[in-house]
Chains A and B, each alone.
Chain A
């Protein structure tokens, strides 16, 4: 029976070759050919598209993306670690509710959640109205880098809380008692036992926040305005407006490589040894 059901996977293998492998290959092909290549006869290979990336204009965009994503990741870590710690220390009945409340926003449309902040941060928005009520001057908050960071922290915070929580809840509590029995005070227990044991979760969290943050184009577009471009906006612009697919593909390949490297780092520190099916 088992031998025969194996063939059930074959149609999907064909599907994957057409719709997953082939498109990735085409992106790679575009990234190493010139714009003038129209068919197999006129194909011309080049590394120009990757070199273009080192133009200061584009390096700046790349640097900005990494910088904004990194700051958001650090803020998420600082806010998220205590939250994960608190959740892992509540009793079981409450814990599931708290977790569900953390997961819930991850399933709501990112576009809508980002748009929600436009209502709050805008010049006539809620915050500015509150400020004028208590006599403060209006602040220009929307369409700034700060707004972009805000949007990223808001959208990706759950991705930080969950892996850290998983690491903390899987920790062997006997180790804490042992440390306590051997005379360590609470601070020492935290620094010498809890923190090192939760490191796999922290690393997963950092990658799971950094990856979507560095590649997003909705958040900088809606909250950062046109001035603050990120790498995702650049790809969108190259494909939709400029039609420079070769350069756009090269950037996509760079993004893909970054993601794959991050994924393999994450797999090394995998908290869930049960396997790949991590949907949350």
Chain B
């Protein structure tokens, strides 16, 4: 009995450790005074400040547009690639999977500088395009990793049956394969979107004149010290990611439950 309480207390401390800083950050974004240690009263002025700041508005615009465009493009490329990879065999398949895995395991800083070197080798102007391509580069592997398990579960006989009944391969793809792996595609899209709005390091090395994202703005402000506007901005970003995460988690849980039901039958 004592042991049970001890473990509850232990887990409680761990979660306080993990979440208290985030809560503190959010609470102090509503604090009246600029010096951050004391609570002096509730205000929304730091949020209002955010909307008047031109740089932040611009960074917000770039963050969202890059997240949407890169998520859409990487979902399309990733889905097609995953279907192809799934029907490959042997060494070629494992080689492709390993190279695909590289941006996932590489430290972000190495991915960032290697892309930066690539753009300079190609004489590209740094700006919206370089940042967008970089986000697509690191998003696709995650999309593929989301879709591949769904493809593995797919019953091969279904496509064969469809084609025996006269469907062309393209028709079978559209009417059988895509609907079956749709949950994986949607999760992949959400994940790509989340990763994109969250990214700092790779964007930092591939940003251009006048084109930044919110993380870069926060970094350059935070280097000079704590400011309530950063707290406000951070709170907004954290809430967005929190909502997206709960969505992704609900989806995967729902999928697992559906799978279990299917197995029971």
Contacts and interface: CB of A to CB of B under 8 A. Distances in A.
B124 interface: no
A111 interface: yes
A9 B88 contact: yes
B214 to A, nearest CB: 9
Which one of A9, A110, A232 has the greatest number of beta carbons of chain B within 10 Å? A9
B8 to A, nearest CB: 8
B81 A12 contact: yes
Determine chain A's interface SS by DSSP, over half rule.
helix
Interface string B184-207: 000000010010001011000100
Nearest to B244: A107
Contacts of A100: 249
A19 B234 contact: no
Contacts of A211: 107
A110 B200 contact: yes
Interface size class of A (residues with CB under 8 A): 35 or more
A169 interface: no
A107 B253 CA distance: 17
A120 B205 CA distance: 29
Interface of B: 7, 10-11, 14-15, 17-19, 21-22, 24-25, 28, 35-38, 77-78, 80-81, 83-88, 96-97, 99-103, 105-107, 109-110, 113-118, 121, 133, 137, 140, 142, 145-146, 148-149, 156, 159-160, 163, 169, 172-173, 191, 194, 198, 200-201, 205, 215, 218-219, 222-223, 225-226, 230-231, 234, 237-238, 241-242, 245, 249, 253
Given A11-B77, A108-B242, A115-B234, A128 B14 contact: no
Contacts of A108: 22, 198, 238, 241-242
Given A105-B18, A112-B237, A26 B99 contact: no
B118 A23 contact: yes
B40 to A, nearest CB: 12
